[in-house]
Structure 1
């Protein structure tokens, strides 16, 4: 056995892609290949890079991309605490939302575009990704990074107030307290909306909504902590009723107050929508 032989970056990326596919818990055979084809280093600042562990950054010894293929946050802008997201978390989200060819995806809070590129590769042929980033420097960087990817449009601005197109999937990468009504209404039949719900400073839960004939089904499925959404959906002053941690994990449906008034199943309520512990009927 040759202990001096080191795997090259392509081999390391391929193994990381295999782990990502496993973390997705999906049977989609395309995922491993897509995770392998999109290089993480192409969507990051020049190395050495800052890797976050336990809310602290550690600088890599060099600019060798091999350091990037681990399940860790990598700084995009360390001064603002903006990172390229945790790979296995995004693998799980992608597996849960099942992007497929022909889908229209709205990706909100794209950073420099790494996971946008992966979503783009999963919706071709025939699909598109409408990407939104509120930080002007990141939006410009993402636009450059994504030029080679088919069907991607990058918009600089606040997606809580800008029009979001009719979507099969809305993929949100910023902590949200109050979902904008426009996002729910933008979902097509059987459309999915995945977002990090931050109903209070101490609660962070990834929630998957699905628009059905009966309404919006909700499934909390993993802890999730993102920096707060800068726009109106990130504020903490719109609550009629905030949930406890147990309440947040109990939600099974979401209702617009214009469609149905909160009832005894309500665990969280805001001016225009509320979360229920009851499933759709």
Structure 2
């Protein structure tokens, strides 16, 4: 193996170990997809703490670590933390034949990983609002026949019916259209940020009883344009209330009850799990 192949192979093992996923394909796709192909030519700018560090050369081995690589430093857009994405993708468990919607795809690196995991037979629709990033994603993903990149606003555009919705921008509350797009058994992960003090990653699963939710870890992403600010009438949860969320309801289906931990215009969160009797 060459030096870069060694670096990519070890990086893939680290990602799979951190994800703790039973799917052996996770390691193989991290090893197969070249991260540098989605970052532009090096040297690269690495986000470290509150500052930035430039790699001393364009050696790709330098970005096969758990580092944030800037895509548009002026706008605070980066390629994402690999450990976090490995954990999220492992938690979602993409399977061959599934339909994925990726919101906030950037230049397409994690889109490519998802596309490989749902092959054969699966497809990925990737939304990116930034025109420059969307153009780069289209070019980077041209060889992936099961990916469609859309330069558009996923908050207002109709989403395809999806088995997986993978959101990489922080929202005050998930738009109702995203929840409605989930197929039976479908899963969505999104960064929930109803307030500065409440940064959670939330997994939503559509069951035969409704939408179960699991705020499973802290996370921070750049805000999602059009969905990052709660309306003035919203009930904003404390961090403790947000952590107790166990189900999500559309207000058109059920009005908030005494179990509500957070209430927004179209959706609300309940501390009651779906296995328990409803009010």
TM-score tier after normalising by the smaller chain length:
over 0.9
* Alignment partner of 1:221 is 2:216: yes
2:172 alignment counterpart: 177
| 1:239–1:191 distance in 2 versus 1, CA, 3 Å | farther
CA drift of 1:91 comes to 0.4
CA drift of 1:55 comes to 2.6
1:99 alignment counterpart: 94
Q: Deviations along 1:86-134, whole A, 9 cap, x unmatched?
A: 0000000011000010000000000000000000000010000000000
2:103 alignment counterpart: 108
1:259 alignment counterpart: 253
* Alignment partner of 1:33 is 2:46: no
The runs of at least 4 aligned residues of structure 1 exceeding 3 Å deviation read none
Which secondary structure state, in structure 2, belongs to the residue aligned with residue 19 of structure 1?
helix
TM-score by length of 1: 0.96
1:269 alignment counterpart: 263
* Alignment partner of 1:198 is 2:196: no
CA drift of 1:149 comes to 1.1
1:245 to 233, 239, 244: 239
Which secondary structure state, in structure 1, belongs to the residue aligned with residue 148 of structure 2?
strand
2:140 alignment counterpart: 145
Is the CA contact (8 Å cut-off) linking 1:178 and 1:238 kept in structure 2?
no
What is the aligned-residue RMSD (CA, Å)?
Answer: 1.2
TM-score by length of 2: 0.96
Deviates more, 1:114-123 or 1:253-262: 253-262
- What stretches of structure 1 of length at least 5 have no aligned partner? 1-6
* Alignment partner of 1:88 is 2:83: yes
Distance 1:67 1:204 in 2: 29
Q: Deviations along 1:148-175, whole A, 9 cap, x unmatched?
A: 1121000001100001000000000000
- What stretches of structure 2 of length at least 5 have no aligned partner? none
Is the CA contact (8 Å cut-off) linking 1:111 and 1:139 kept in structure 2?
yes
